[in-house]
Structure 1
Amino acid sequence: MIEPANANLPIGKQCKLLSIPRSSFYYQPKGETALNLMLMRRIDEQFLETPFFGVRQMTWHLRNEGHLVNEKRIRRLMRVMGLMPIYQKPNTSKAAKGHKTYPYLLRGLRVGRPNLNRPGFSGDC
Protein backbone atom coordinates (compact mmCIF):
# COMPACT_ATOMS: atom_id res chain seq x y z
CA MET A 1 0.00 0.00 0.00
CA ILE A 2 2.76 2.43 0.91
CA GLU A 3 5.53 2.76 -1.64
CA PRO A 4 8.76 3.97 -0.02
CA ALA A 5 10.46 4.33 -3.42
CA ASN A 6 7.84 6.78 -4.72
CA ALA A 7 9.67 10.09 -5.32
CA ASN A 8 6.50 12.10 -5.99
CA LEU A 9 4.75 11.34 -2.70
CA PRO A 10 6.69 11.18 0.61
CA ILE A 11 5.95 8.44 3.14
CA GLY A 12 4.37 10.93 5.55
CA LYS A 13 1.82 12.05 2.95
CA GLN A 14 1.08 8.47 1.92
CA CYS A 15 0.40 7.58 5.56
CA LYS A 16 -1.83 10.62 5.96
CA LEU A 17 -3.82 9.63 2.86
CA LEU A 18 -4.32 6.14 4.33
CA SER A 19 -5.17 7.62 7.78
CA ILE A 20 -2.50 5.64 9.62
CA PRO A 21 0.25 7.00 11.86
CA ARG A 22 3.68 7.20 10.25
CA SER A 23 5.14 5.23 13.15
CA SER A 24 2.95 2.27 12.16
CA PHE A 25 4.77 2.10 8.83
CA TYR A 26 8.17 1.83 10.55
CA TYR A 27 7.07 -0.56 13.32
CA GLN A 28 8.74 -3.99 13.22
CA PRO A 29 7.08 -6.58 15.52
CA LYS A 30 9.59 -8.36 17.74
CA GLY A 31 7.74 -11.65 18.22
CA GLU A 32 7.90 -13.86 21.29
CA THR A 33 11.01 -14.50 23.35
CA ALA A 34 12.57 -17.95 23.62
CA LEU A 35 11.29 -18.24 27.22
CA ASN A 36 7.73 -17.45 26.13
CA LEU A 37 7.96 -19.99 23.30
CA MET A 38 9.16 -22.63 25.76
CA LEU A 39 6.29 -21.75 28.14
CA MET A 40 3.81 -21.94 25.27
CA ARG A 41 5.10 -25.41 24.41
CA ARG A 42 4.69 -26.53 28.05
CA ILE A 43 1.20 -24.98 28.24
CA ASP A 44 0.20 -26.78 25.04
CA GLU A 45 1.50 -30.14 26.30
CA GLN A 46 -0.31 -29.76 29.61
CA PHE A 47 -3.48 -28.49 27.96
CA LEU A 48 -3.67 -31.62 25.80
CA GLU A 49 -3.60 -33.72 29.00
CA THR A 50 -5.92 -31.49 31.05
CA PRO A 51 -8.12 -29.31 28.81
CA PHE A 52 -10.03 -28.09 31.86
CA PHE A 53 -7.02 -26.19 33.26
CA GLY A 54 -7.68 -22.47 33.18
CA VAL A 55 -5.20 -19.68 33.79
CA ARG A 56 -4.95 -20.18 37.54
CA GLN A 57 -4.46 -23.94 37.42
CA MET A 58 -1.98 -23.65 34.54
CA THR A 59 0.00 -21.03 36.49
CA TRP A 60 -0.02 -23.27 39.56
CA HIS A 61 1.15 -26.24 37.45
CA LEU A 62 4.01 -24.29 35.83
CA ARG A 63 5.11 -22.91 39.20
CA ASN A 64 5.26 -26.46 40.56
CA GLU A 65 7.57 -27.32 37.66
CA GLY A 66 9.90 -24.51 38.75
CA HIS A 67 8.99 -21.74 36.29
CA LEU A 68 8.71 -18.21 37.66
CA VAL A 69 5.47 -17.08 36.01
CA ASN A 70 2.46 -15.03 36.99
CA GLU A 71 -1.18 -15.20 35.94
CA LYS A 72 -0.95 -12.21 33.61
CA ARG A 73 1.72 -13.83 31.47
CA ILE A 74 -0.09 -17.17 31.30
CA ARG A 75 -3.41 -15.45 30.47
CA ARG A 76 -1.73 -13.54 27.61
CA LEU A 77 0.02 -16.63 26.26
CA MET A 78 -3.15 -18.73 26.40
CA ARG A 79 -5.02 -15.95 24.59
CA VAL A 80 -2.29 -15.77 21.92
CA MET A 81 -2.50 -19.56 21.50
CA GLY A 82 -6.29 -19.45 21.35
CA LEU A 83 -6.74 -21.90 24.24
CA MET A 84 -10.06 -21.86 26.06
CA PRO A 85 -10.57 -24.32 28.93
CA ILE A 86 -13.52 -26.68 29.01
CA TYR A 87 -15.74 -26.00 31.99
CA GLN A 88 -19.35 -26.59 32.87
CA LYS A 89 -21.56 -23.61 32.20
CA PRO A 90 -24.83 -23.03 34.06
CA ASN A 91 -27.94 -24.54 32.49
CA THR A 92 -30.46 -22.59 34.52
CA SER A 93 -32.85 -22.02 31.61
CA LYS A 94 -33.13 -25.64 30.54
CA ALA A 95 -36.14 -27.50 31.92
CA ALA A 96 -35.56 -30.90 33.46
CA LYS A 97 -37.06 -33.85 31.61
CA GLY A 98 -40.38 -34.92 33.06
CA HIS A 99 -40.79 -31.73 35.11
CA LYS A 100 -44.24 -30.16 34.85
CA THR A 101 -44.32 -26.61 33.47
CA TYR A 102 -46.79 -24.50 35.41
CA PRO A 103 -48.70 -21.76 33.59
CA TYR A 104 -48.16 -18.13 34.55
CA LEU A 105 -51.54 -17.19 36.01
CA LEU A 106 -51.03 -13.40 36.05
CA ARG A 107 -50.38 -13.12 32.31
CA GLY A 108 -52.78 -10.59 30.78
CA LEU A 109 -54.09 -9.53 34.22
CA ARG A 110 -53.67 -5.85 35.12
CA VAL A 111 -52.53 -5.46 38.72
CA GLY A 112 -53.63 -2.02 39.88
CA ARG A 113 -53.68 -2.31 43.69
CA PRO A 114 -52.65 -4.72 46.45
CA ASN A 115 -55.12 -7.31 47.72
CA LEU A 116 -55.82 -6.03 51.23
CA ASN A 117 -58.48 -8.68 51.94
CA ARG A 118 -56.20 -11.70 51.80
CA PRO A 119 -55.95 -13.81 54.96
CA GLY A 120 -53.04 -13.01 57.29
CA PHE A 121 -52.71 -9.40 56.12
CA SER A 122 -53.23 -6.89 58.92
CA GLY A 123 -52.72 -3.73 56.89
CA ASP A 124 -50.12 -2.29 59.32
CA CYS A 125 -46.85 -2.04 57.48
Structure 2
Amino acid sequence: MSSRTELVRPRHLKLSVRRQCQLLGINRSSLYYKPVPEKPQNIKMMEVMDKHLTLHPTEGVNSLVLMFLAMNFCVGPKRIRRLLKIMGRQTIYRRKNLTRAGLKEFIKPYLLKGLKIERPNQVWCTDITYIPMKNGFMYMTAFIDVYSRKIMGWGIGNSLSTKWCMEVLKDAIDQNGKPEIINSDQGCQYTSAAWTQYLRNEEIQVSMDGKGRALDNVWIERFWKSLKYDYIYLNPAEDGLELFKGVHDHVGYYHSKIHHTTKMTPNDRYAQTEKKAA
Protein backbone atom coordinates (compact mmCIF):
# COMPACT_ATOMS: atom_id res chain seq x y z
CA MET A 1 0.00 0.00 0.00
CA SER A 2 2.72 2.48 0.96
CA SER A 3 4.56 1.99 -2.34
CA ARG A 4 1.41 2.71 -4.33
CA THR A 5 0.51 5.82 -2.36
CA GLU A 6 3.96 7.19 -3.16
CA LEU A 7 3.03 7.08 -6.86
CA VAL A 8 0.23 9.63 -6.42
CA ARG A 9 1.09 13.10 -7.72
CA PRO A 10 -1.24 15.80 -6.32
CA ARG A 11 -0.23 18.30 -9.03
CA HIS A 12 -0.53 15.99 -12.02
CA LEU A 13 -1.57 18.05 -15.06
CA LYS A 14 -4.06 15.56 -16.51
CA LEU A 15 -5.17 13.21 -13.72
CA SER A 16 -6.88 14.28 -10.50
CA VAL A 17 -5.84 12.69 -7.20
CA ARG A 18 -9.19 10.89 -7.18
CA ARG A 19 -8.60 9.38 -10.64
CA GLN A 20 -5.01 8.41 -9.82
CA CYS A 21 -6.22 6.54 -6.73
CA GLN A 22 -8.86 4.74 -8.80
CA LEU A 23 -6.25 3.61 -11.33
CA LEU A 24 -3.85 2.49 -8.58
CA GLY A 25 -6.61 0.66 -6.72
CA ILE A 26 -6.19 2.56 -3.46
CA ASN A 27 -8.53 4.59 -1.29
CA ARG A 28 -7.69 8.28 -1.09
CA SER A 29 -7.98 8.12 2.67
CA SER A 30 -4.71 6.16 2.72
CA LEU A 31 -2.94 9.35 1.64
CA TYR A 32 -3.81 11.06 4.90
CA TYR A 33 -2.13 8.58 7.20
CA LYS A 34 -0.15 10.74 9.62
CA PRO A 35 -1.63 10.60 13.16
CA VAL A 36 -2.40 13.84 14.99
CA PRO A 37 0.10 14.31 17.88
CA GLU A 38 -1.07 15.15 21.40
CA LYS A 39 0.30 15.05 24.95
CA PRO A 40 0.39 11.49 26.39
CA GLN A 41 -1.92 12.38 29.29
CA ASN A 42 -4.48 13.91 26.92
CA ILE A 43 -4.27 10.85 24.65
CA LYS A 44 -5.05 8.61 27.62
CA MET A 45 -7.91 10.86 28.75
CA MET A 46 -9.44 10.92 25.27
CA GLU A 47 -9.21 7.14 25.04
CA VAL A 48 -11.10 6.79 28.34
CA MET A 49 -13.67 9.37 27.22
CA ASP A 50 -14.11 7.67 23.85
CA LYS A 51 -14.75 4.27 25.42
CA HIS A 52 -17.31 5.80 27.78
CA LEU A 53 -19.12 7.84 25.12
CA THR A 54 -19.22 4.94 22.68
CA LEU A 55 -21.35 3.11 25.25
CA HIS A 56 -23.16 6.22 26.55
CA PRO A 57 -23.34 8.71 23.64
CA THR A 58 -25.84 11.07 25.26
CA GLU A 59 -23.75 11.90 28.33
CA GLY A 60 -22.05 15.28 28.52
CA VAL A 61 -19.32 17.30 30.17
CA ASN A 62 -20.57 17.08 33.76
CA SER A 63 -20.87 13.29 33.57
CA LEU A 64 -17.30 13.05 32.31
CA VAL A 65 -15.99 15.30 35.08
CA LEU A 66 -17.67 13.04 37.66
CA MET A 67 -16.35 9.93 35.91
CA PHE A 68 -12.76 11.16 36.18
CA LEU A 69 -13.37 12.23 39.78
CA ALA A 70 -14.45 8.66 40.59
CA MET A 71 -11.10 7.58 39.12
CA ASN A 72 -9.32 9.96 41.55
CA PHE A 73 -8.41 12.32 38.73
CA CYS A 74 -9.54 15.91 39.13
CA VAL A 75 -10.17 17.63 35.80
CA GLY A 76 -12.24 20.71 35.03
CA PRO A 77 -15.03 21.09 32.47
CA LYS A 78 -12.95 23.50 30.37
CA ARG A 79 -10.36 20.83 29.66
CA ILE A 80 -13.04 18.25 28.96
CA ARG A 81 -14.66 20.56 26.41
CA ARG A 82 -11.33 21.17 24.70
CA LEU A 83 -10.64 17.45 24.40
CA LEU A 84 -14.17 16.77 23.14
CA LYS A 85 -13.63 19.38 20.45
CA ILE A 86 -10.38 17.70 19.40
CA MET A 87 -12.24 14.39 19.24
CA GLY A 88 -14.90 15.86 16.98
CA ARG A 89 -17.60 15.40 19.60
CA GLN A 90 -19.11 18.83 19.03
CA THR A 91 -22.65 17.59 19.50
CA ILE A 92 -21.93 16.46 23.07
CA TYR A 93 -21.19 19.89 24.48
CA ARG A 94 -22.88 23.24 24.02
CA ARG A 95 -22.05 24.67 20.62
CA LYS A 96 -22.83 27.90 18.84
CA ASN A 97 -26.44 28.06 17.69
CA LEU A 98 -26.54 27.42 13.95
CA THR A 99 -29.52 29.70 13.41
CA ARG A 100 -27.78 32.64 15.07
CA ALA A 101 -24.63 31.86 13.09
CA GLY A 102 -26.56 32.51 9.88
CA LEU A 103 -26.64 28.84 8.85
CA LYS A 104 -30.36 28.21 9.27
CA GLU A 105 -30.74 27.44 5.56
CA PHE A 106 -28.38 24.46 5.93
CA ILE A 107 -30.26 22.83 8.84
CA LYS A 108 -32.52 20.12 7.43
CA PRO A 109 -35.35 18.15 9.08
CA TYR A 110 -35.06 14.54 10.21
CA LEU A 111 -36.69 12.51 7.43
CA LEU A 112 -36.41 8.99 8.85
CA LYS A 113 -39.11 9.11 11.55
CA GLY A 114 -41.84 6.71 10.47
CA LEU A 115 -40.11 6.02 7.15
CA LYS A 116 -40.35 2.41 5.96
CA ILE A 117 -36.86 1.45 4.84
CA GLU A 118 -37.28 -1.49 2.49
CA ARG A 119 -34.44 -1.50 -0.05
CA PRO A 120 -30.71 -0.88 -0.41
CA ASN A 121 -29.52 2.63 -1.27
CA GLN A 122 -32.75 4.10 0.05
CA VAL A 123 -31.06 5.62 3.11
CA TRP A 124 -27.40 6.00 4.03
CA CYS A 125 -26.24 7.33 7.38
CA THR A 126 -22.89 8.98 7.95
CA ASP A 127 -20.80 10.14 10.87
CA ILE A 128 -17.22 10.91 11.94
CA THR A 129 -15.55 9.27 14.92
CA TYR A 130 -12.32 9.63 16.87
CA ILE A 131 -9.83 6.74 16.58
CA PRO A 132 -7.22 6.44 19.38
CA MET A 133 -3.75 5.16 18.43
CA LYS A 134 -0.52 4.36 20.27
CA ASN A 135 1.05 7.75 19.62
CA GLY A 136 -1.77 10.06 18.66
CA PHE A 137 -5.13 9.72 17.00
CA MET A 138 -6.95 9.94 13.69
CA TYR A 139 -10.53 10.34 12.51
CA MET A 140 -12.72 7.95 10.57
CA THR A 141 -15.84 8.64 8.56
CA ALA A 142 -18.19 6.04 7.12
CA PHE A 143 -21.44 5.65 5.22
CA ILE A 144 -23.75 2.78 6.17
CA ASP A 145 -26.71 1.51 4.18
CA VAL A 146 -29.54 1.37 6.72
CA TYR A 147 -31.47 -1.46 5.03
CA SER A 148 -28.60 -3.94 4.77
CA ARG A 149 -26.21 -2.43 7.38
CA LYS A 150 -23.46 -2.64 4.76
CA ILE A 151 -20.63 -0.09 4.91
CA MET A 152 -20.84 1.66 1.55
CA GLY A 153 -17.67 3.68 1.98
CA TRP A 154 -15.21 4.74 4.66
CA GLY A 155 -12.05 6.76 5.08
CA ILE A 156 -9.37 7.60 7.61
CA GLY A 157 -7.86 11.06 7.90
CA ASN A 158 -6.12 13.48 10.23
CA SER A 159 -8.54 16.39 9.84
CA LEU A 160 -12.26 17.04 10.13
CA SER A 161 -12.54 18.88 6.82
CA THR A 162 -15.66 18.91 4.67
CA LYS A 163 -13.49 18.19 1.63
CA TRP A 164 -12.32 14.90 3.13
CA CYS A 165 -15.90 13.81 3.91
CA MET A 166 -16.96 14.65 0.37
CA GLU A 167 -14.07 12.65 -1.12
CA VAL A 168 -15.14 9.55 0.81
CA LEU A 169 -18.77 10.10 -0.25
CA LYS A 170 -17.83 10.45 -3.92
CA ASP A 171 -15.84 7.21 -3.76
CA ALA A 172 -18.82 5.45 -2.13
CA ILE A 173 -21.18 6.68 -4.85
CA ASP A 174 -18.73 5.65 -7.59
CA GLN A 175 -18.64 2.12 -6.16
CA ASN A 176 -22.29 1.62 -5.16
CA GLY A 177 -24.49 4.20 -6.85
CA LYS A 178 -26.11 7.03 -4.92
CA PRO A 179 -28.69 6.81 -2.13
CA GLU A 180 -32.04 8.56 -2.07
CA ILE A 181 -31.39 10.05 1.39
CA ILE A 182 -28.27 10.72 3.47
CA ASN A 183 -28.75 11.23 7.21
CA SER A 184 -26.15 12.92 9.41
CA ASP A 185 -25.82 14.97 12.56
CA GLN A 186 -25.59 18.78 12.54
CA GLY A 187 -21.79 18.82 12.48
CA CYS A 188 -20.07 21.66 10.64
CA GLN A 189 -19.10 19.36 7.76
CA TYR A 190 -22.73 18.51 7.02
CA THR A 191 -24.11 22.03 7.46
CA SER A 192 -21.54 23.53 5.08
CA ALA A 193 -22.55 25.10 1.79
CA ALA A 194 -20.25 22.74 -0.15
CA TRP A 195 -21.80 19.59 1.33
CA THR A 196 -25.43 20.62 0.93
CA GLN A 197 -24.85 21.93 -2.59
CA TYR A 198 -23.19 18.68 -3.68
CA LEU A 199 -26.10 16.58 -2.39
CA ARG A 200 -28.55 18.93 -4.05
CA ASN A 201 -26.72 18.58 -7.37
CA GLU A 202 -26.80 14.79 -7.00
CA GLU A 203 -30.54 14.94 -6.16
CA ILE A 204 -29.93 13.28 -2.78
CA GLN A 205 -32.26 14.32 0.02
CA VAL A 206 -30.61 15.63 3.20
CA SER A 207 -31.79 14.43 6.60
CA MET A 208 -30.32 15.61 9.91
CA ASP A 209 -30.57 14.34 13.47
CA GLY A 210 -32.30 16.53 15.99
CA LYS A 211 -29.80 18.51 18.09
CA GLY A 212 -28.51 16.32 20.90
CA ARG A 213 -30.39 13.22 19.65
CA ALA A 214 -27.60 10.66 19.24
CA LEU A 215 -30.04 7.79 18.72
CA ASP A 216 -31.36 9.33 15.49
CA ASN A 217 -28.25 7.89 13.83
CA VAL A 218 -28.22 4.62 15.78
CA TRP A 219 -27.15 2.46 12.82
CA ILE A 220 -23.75 4.06 12.41
CA GLU A 221 -23.32 4.30 16.20
CA ARG A 222 -23.71 0.52 16.45
CA PHE A 223 -21.05 0.05 13.80
CA TRP A 224 -18.65 2.36 15.67
CA LYS A 225 -19.22 0.33 18.84
CA SER A 226 -18.46 -2.92 17.02
CA LEU A 227 -15.36 -1.51 15.34
CA LYS A 228 -13.90 0.02 18.49
CA TYR A 229 -14.58 -2.75 20.99
CA ASP A 230 -13.79 -5.62 18.61
CA TYR A 231 -10.70 -4.10 17.01
CA ILE A 232 -9.52 -0.53 17.78
CA TYR A 233 -9.23 -0.76 21.57
CA LEU A 234 -7.67 -4.23 21.40
CA ASN A 235 -5.15 -3.37 18.67
CA PRO A 236 -4.01 0.27 18.88
CA ALA A 237 -2.20 1.06 15.64
CA GLU A 238 1.32 2.46 15.36
CA ASP A 239 0.56 4.55 12.26
CA GLY A 240 -2.14 5.36 9.75
CA LEU A 241 -1.24 2.63 7.27
CA GLU A 242 -1.45 -0.04 9.97
CA LEU A 243 -4.78 1.43 11.06
CA PHE A 244 -6.05 1.49 7.48
CA LYS A 245 -5.24 -2.20 6.95
CA GLY A 246 -6.78 -3.19 10.28
CA VAL A 247 -10.00 -1.29 9.64
CA HIS A 248 -10.16 -2.72 6.11
CA ASP A 249 -9.93 -6.26 7.52
CA HIS A 250 -12.51 -5.57 10.24
CA VAL A 251 -15.00 -4.12 7.75
CA GLY A 252 -14.59 -7.29 5.67
CA TYR A 253 -15.24 -9.40 8.76
CA TYR A 254 -18.25 -7.27 9.68
CA HIS A 255 -19.73 -7.68 6.20
CA SER A 256 -19.36 -11.44 6.02
CA LYS A 257 -19.71 -12.66 9.61
CA ILE A 258 -21.84 -10.39 11.75
CA HIS A 259 -25.58 -11.02 11.51
CA HIS A 260 -28.20 -8.44 12.43
CA THR A 261 -31.90 -8.82 13.22
CA THR A 262 -32.42 -9.93 9.60
CA LYS A 263 -30.46 -13.14 10.31
CA MET A 264 -28.32 -12.33 7.27
CA THR A 265 -24.93 -10.77 6.78
CA PRO A 266 -24.84 -7.20 5.41
CA ASN A 267 -23.27 -8.45 2.17
CA ASP A 268 -25.93 -11.15 1.67
CA ARG A 269 -28.85 -8.84 2.44
CA TYR A 270 -27.56 -6.15 0.10
CA ALA A 271 -26.79 -8.62 -2.73
CA GLN A 272 -30.03 -10.58 -2.35
CA THR A 273 -32.18 -7.50 -2.73
CA GLU A 274 -30.14 -6.36 -5.74
CA LYS A 275 -30.75 -9.75 -7.43
CA LYS A 276 -34.51 -9.48 -6.80
CA ALA A 277 -34.54 -6.00 -8.32
CA ALA A 278 -32.68 -7.29 -11.39
TM-score range, shorter chain: 0.3 to 0.5
| Structure showing the higher strand proportion among its residues | 2
Which of these two proteins has the greater Rg computed from alpha carbons?
1
Query: Could you tell me the TM-score, scaled by structure 2's length?
Result: 0.20
> Which structure ranks higher in relative contact order (CA pairs < 8 Å, sequence separation ≥ 6)?
2
Query: Could you tell me the TM-score, scaled by structure 1's length?
Result: 0.43
